[in-house]
Structure 1
């Protein structure tokens, strides 16, 4: 029996789907257990049990590290794995190495080694996203219909990991309750320090997942493609088409503020009254909504078209951050509205953008186009967010010099002018703490400008670009 026949037969009996669903669950549990809460630990002072890093430091760690992984992923996943070894073996090796690096991160307290280890971890983890997708497509008989049902288990894995770590590990005297999130308890006094252990939990899950990948996943042999390692660079030629160019520029702006969301939201939620143990559960509301929005995305694309759907996605970013600004001085429950908008932000902008790129590219260049677009928004975007997040420290600095750190005693001219403009618009600045409304309204305005760019300049010319030689 041929490999294709074997795969088809197994797909019909559901064997691979169960194993692939477990794979996706673990893939995103590894990520979700630490990303929503790590910024709290990194930004908290040493006296509070954190590392005392600045906003710029955290932006560089979460931005540049992610960018490093995104940029190297095509070479690792697209070349080494595709040419020299089974995809499930490459996946397992990367997960084992990445798990060890993540465990090591929990014991590092200085910025430079933390940054370097984060880059190393990202270089191991980011290629696994492409590898898991490739394993799915190679082992599902009807990937177009079956893949979404398998991929949703990744979102569920993120929700479970991010929720349970905080509720079960950062609390004591835990009891069940009928109210979501079904667990309540007393926040541990050393919860900030304990957040570092999310990296250890992630590392252990990663290593167990790596063993599972090598032993249990369907055998996915290398294609040994003869394509040049830099073949995907040819896809940048699609930028000569207006639709692709405008969408890429808009995606860079959205990618920048999207990355800041994960850097700033955790510490902000704590500042408005949520316990550290609740942050992961609260932020997972966005992933829950994402499941339902992705389910109807195709209907919206058919009914409204790419321009309006992507514009709505950018507007959702504006509304999310505007809601955060209002929630800073209002009831903390308002934050749930902005977080729930994550589902619309991700699905209507990023998912729709990737679908458009797939449609805009010639059939033989679709993989290269996705790779090139991914490098732009997951590589360049996070790097820009590192600079931007450092500047936001100045925008949100306290008005009292005594309340500022040494690095923020003197603000740059652009930050001073922008703070004055925000005050003129009625945005309050805090005297002795972080001026979160100033930060959130800055991000909201970027979202609004992006929506304006898309609705004015974007055009669906995918019929021309996809027919190009």
Structure 2
């Protein structure tokens, strides 16, 4: 007989999987509805010079939100109730944001967006926690449920594109409706216990002291360094892909960029098998080279005979993201698991990539964007994309010459 809290009751496993799939779908729909075309919205509203700051709030929030809420608030409130509160309050903020998307209120918009993201970012981890704890021993069901998060992101892009809202501040209202719905839906989520306070001081947990010790291994140190560096050109894609695609003459920007998430979904399930077969270094190297290839394609793509390069560059997202970031997360787990610091190590990886790397990338991208005209043509964009293309190629070369991993992931059951 199944033990309560360690496995899914046979009669309810299908229903539970469905409930959690809805959770993941809505969780990432909210983010995808506004994040994908935010750069285009701001450029259209005359806020192009603030795109870098707007895309810096995510990295800052991933650090501040995870520390302040993920490490502290979960000790006093259940994950379920935190989801209710954060998504309801976040939905109210999203409804108000469109009123600030003007040149007169641009600064207020960025600050309020930062406040929203500090509330939103912890809910990503909370959604994962609810799903994993609900499944108990049946964690093999989690990848299927998590895939609905990517489907939610895709659906958001397709709906925004279909409704011709890619350049409109109404994208926040679309996200707000789903955020409020998710806050209410969260009342029905499974009751899972808050994390018990871990051993050691809270400050040691927040600072990932044990995880930082893993970088005494030369291969892991090089991996973390390259992961941070490759996140710099990554940030430029998230911030500036939408205005670039619009400049190429593509009207359905949201739907076009959703092709990238479709590609991501395609490679996601094959990643464990590819990792077992090839090991970490070939996958990470292919991922970095794919970033270089993507930006080179953007540097030659236009609205005429080279339009195919724009679509191909977007479609490479599955290789760019999964081959580096998903494979990197698996590799981090293989290094950290024997030391018993997997959660800390994954948090540290997020800190360096989505925190430090993407924050630097957003600011560097802003400096490059500032060199372009107020309404850049497709030829203006070409010169900008060569910088991240060359940077990604150099990082890949550095990785190839310095990274020597002696571990290979054994086949998992």
Same fold (TM over 0.5): yes
* 8 A contact 1:310–1:348 mirrored in 2: yes
List aligned pairs for 1:209-224, cutoff 5 A.
209-213=182-186, 215-224=187-196
- Structure 1 residue 5, shift from structure 2 partner: 5.3
List aligned pairs for 1:454-469, cutoff 5 A.
454-461=399-406
Choose which of 256, 278, 291 in structure 2 pairs with 1:317: 291
- Structure 1 residue 27, shift from structure 2 partner: 0.5
Q: Are 1:248 and 2:224 matched, yes or no? A: yes
- Structure 1 residue 294, shift from structure 2 partner: 1.1
List aligned pairs for 1:18-417, cutoff 5 A.
18-44=18-44, 50-54=45-49, 57-63=50-56, 65-108=57-100, 109=102, 110-170=105-165, 192=167, 195-213=168-186, 215-227=187-199, 228-230=201-203, 231=205, 232-234=207-209, 235-275=211-251, 278-328=252-302, 330-361=305-336, 362-393=338-369, 397=372, 404=373
* 8 A contact 1:324–1:335 mirrored in 2: yes
TM-score by length of 2: 0.90
List aligned pairs for 1:6-25, cutoff 5 A.
8-9=8-9, 13-25=13-25
Deviations 1:401-448 (A, max 9, x none): xxx56xxxxxxxxxxxxxxxxxxxxxxxx9x87621211111111111
- Structure 1 residue 452, shift from structure 2 partner: 0.9
Q: From the CA coordinates, give the structure whose radius of gyration is larger.
A: 1
TM-score by length of 1: 0.80
Where does residue 411 of structure 2 map in the other structure? none
Within 1, Cα distance between the matches of 2:346 and 2:26? 24
**Alignment: residue pair count:** 399
**Secondary structure at the counterpart of residue 196 of structure 2:** coil
* 8 A contact 1:34–1:202 mirrored in 2: yes
Within 2, Cα distance between the matches of 1:251 and 1:311? 11
Give structure 1 stretches of 5+ with no counterpart: 45-49, 171-190, 398-403, 406-429, 464-469
Deviations 1:132-165 (A, max 9, x none): 1111110114444111000000011111111112
* 8 A contact 1:103–1:203 mirrored in 2: yes
Within 2, Cα distance between the matches of 1:60 and 1:462? 40
**Secondary structure at the counterpart of residue 405 of structure 2:** coil
Q: Are 1:450 and 2:395 matched, yes or no? A: yes
**What RMSD over aligned residues (CA atoms) do the two structures have, in Å?**
2.3
Change (3 A) 1:157 1:75: same
- Structure 1 residue 207, shift from structure 2 partner: 1.2
